[in-house]
Chains A and B, each alone.
Chain A
Amino acid sequence: MLALNNIEVIYNDVILVLKGMSMQVGEGQIVALLGSNGAGKSTTLKAVSGLLKPEDGAVTDGEILFLGQRIDRLDAADIVRRGVFQVMEGRRVFEHLTVEENLRAGAYTQRDARRQTQDLELVYGYFPRLLERRQQTAGYLSGGEQQMLAIGRAMMAHPRLMMLDEPSLGLAPLLVEEIFRIIRRINQEQKTTILLVEQNARLALAVADYAYIMENGRIVLEGAPAQLQENADVREFYLGLTDVGTRKSYRDVKHYKRRKRWLS
């Protein structure tokens, strides 16, 4: 469905962020994109949704295909109309609008008013919390509710591909699990393809059908979650487990630090 072929992204004409990055997202899948801070995960999402321009970045090489068509030269607004919707990092709800107005704003690309009302019901079905607060100003919601609102807003646009940038940012573990459950349900019931960028590797691997691990602007490892969970490097660096599968003790770190094999 979405294919990135060898893309290269440069900020400000001097900073090379993505160095020949390739990945695929299949129809109906949940694909997780993991990686340390500064690996280029968010940049990848922005390259797909056309948001690089405001930050003085550009895709200088390679191509991004969505449903077989190139989208890397299009405007962000055109890309949304084609069915790619990015839920940005840090929620970014319209804080002076009410919850319901926020959701309706998400349906900007959908002109059919009757369908909009149905969609509202649908979103409230997934997020009953938003129904309770539908007339409240979005700026007064808690962090978790704002994240729900951001995802609900994305659903209103009927995207074929929803890209979530760190939906767990700053949320309590219990709430994170709830949000991930809902993401899974959206994927299964609405048949929305999901590309998920996450720091919480354990949870992301639990919901994903396929996962990529990024480092230094390229994909270093990919595979089905079960496979990755077995990989010694992933266990060490992303799941914090030792060979035996127990939690790691800091005492061991001093003695022996494992090298990331793919960096050599």
Chain B
Amino acid sequence: MESGIFHTTYQRDMALRHTPAQWVRLALVVAAALAFPFAANNYWLTLANQIGIAAIGAIGLNILVGFTGQISLGQGAFLAVGAYSAGILTKQLGIPWYASTVLACLITAGVGAVFGMPALRLKGLYLAIATLAAQEIIEWGILQWEPITRLTGGVEAMNVPRPTLFGVRMNTDFNFYWVTLLCLALTVILAVNLFRTRTGRAFVAIRDQDIAAEVMGVDLFRYKVLAFAVSSAFVGLAGALTAHYRTIISWERFTLETSILYLAMIIIGGLGSVSGSIYGAAFMTLLPAILQNLGRSLGGTVPNIAQQIPFLQQGVFGLVIILFLVFEPEGIAKMWRNVKDYFRLWPFSY
């Protein structure tokens, strides 16, 4: 039985996976992800796509909040930048959907970097308010500012041409699943490896002790702006995927509520954890769906309750989040780690 993990070389120590068990788990997850669309119906595939896209956005936000220790209430707006720029590029300029997705990432990274500049001087709640301004400014721009509304359509929803690849329509649930999966896999690989590099360590140093990091020569301004840019690039990817998947973009999906929902995702999933972001995204997408189904079946049996169900759903949603924060403030990632540790160290945990 394993009594601990011991490394004899630096390469082994830096490796992402240390034990055969971890490789087996990874293989199982990959196999399950590949087999899933053949077993699932459209309803489940839609949910899976939503989770995948949300997970990409959550990983992006977690890079900023969980790893670099900055805060952003502008997540919704950055998603909007990604979605609208992908939509506009494809619709107005006829750029293929995959190329516009990549460009949207870059555009969002730029916008994120600009709005991340106040981070040099502001921390904590003050930065939150500054990014709230970003959210409002971008929202206003999309809805009201003449030169932009001509492109976005303002309050009205914008239609995006259907994505096709070699003549195959891509935005069916089944086909788009592969796009989402590929993007999510890329995001995870990039994010996980980011924190093994010099830049990633600088991010974490800024989170833990920003002044100590500066003393060691980490350029705070550069790395904070870079964190905003990298984070926004992933968020932009999530936005662009939403645009191409739904083929219709409406500003209502990108309000402040969305920003807060994403913050809730990474807090529940686990701050500073890539896998936690995925758990959080899955949790926050599945919970309303489960509550909805529960409400529907309940509404059928108890007729009087039918009008109350939407409110009950909201209430239960809030309650579950509060319970989560009370019992495991470090999120689902920590819970999973506890389970693994329990079995690994059983029967003598110390």
Instruction: Enumerate chain A interface residues (CB-CB to B < 8 A).
Output: 10, 13-16
Closest B-chain residue to A13, C-beta based?
B349
List the B side residues contacting A14 at CB < 8 Å.
Answer: 341, 345, 349-350
A16 to B349, CA, bound (A): 9
**Most chain B Cβ neighbours within 10 Å, of A10, A14, A15, A16:** A14
The CA of A162 and the CA of B335, in the complex, are separated in Å by: 39
Number of interface residues of B (CB under 8 A): 4
Q: Which residues of A contact B341 (CB under 8 A)?
A: 14
9 contacts between A and B (CB under 8 A): A10-B350, A13-B349, A13-B350, A14-B341, A14-B345, A14-B349, A14-B350, A15-B350, A16-B350
Distance in angstroms between the alpha carbons of A15 and B349 in the assembled complex: 8
* Residues in chain B within 8 A of chain A (CB atoms): 341, 345, 349-350
Looking at the assembled complex, report how far the CB atom of A206 sits from the nearest CB atom of chain B, in whole angstroms: 36
Known: A13-B349, A13-B350, A14-B345. 6 other contacts (CB 8 A): A10-B350, A14-B341, A14-B349, A14-B350, A15-B350, A16-B350
Residue ID in chain A nearest B350 by CB atoms: A16
Closest to A15 in B: B350
Complex: chain A residue closest to B330, CB-CB? A56
Chain B nearest CB: distance from A29 CB in Å?
A: 33
Give Cα A14–Cα B340 distance, bound, in whole angstroms.
13
Give every chain A residue within 8 A of B350 (Cβ-Cβ): 10, 13-16
List chain A residues, Cβ under 8 A from B345.
14
Once the chains are docked, how many angstroms separate the CA of A13 from the CA of B350?
8
CA distance A10 to B349 in the complex (A): 10
Q: Which B residues lie within 8 Å of A13 (CB)?
A: 349-350
Q: Which residues of B contact A15 (CB under 8 A)?
A: 350
From B345, B349, B350, name the one whose CB has the most chain A CB atoms within 10 angstroms.
Answer: B350
CA distance A194 to B350 in the complex (A): 33
Which A residues are in CB contact (< 8 Å) with B349? 13-14
Neighbouring B residues of A10 by C-beta, 8 Å = 350
Nearest A residue to B345, CB-CB: A14
Shortest C-beta distance, A161 to chain B (Å), equals: 30
The CA-CA distance from A15 to B345 in the complex, in Å, is 12
Closest 7 CB pairs of A and B: A16-B350, A14-B350, A14-B349, A13-B349, A15-B350, A10-B350, A14-B345
Bound-complex Cα distance A210 to B260 (A): 57
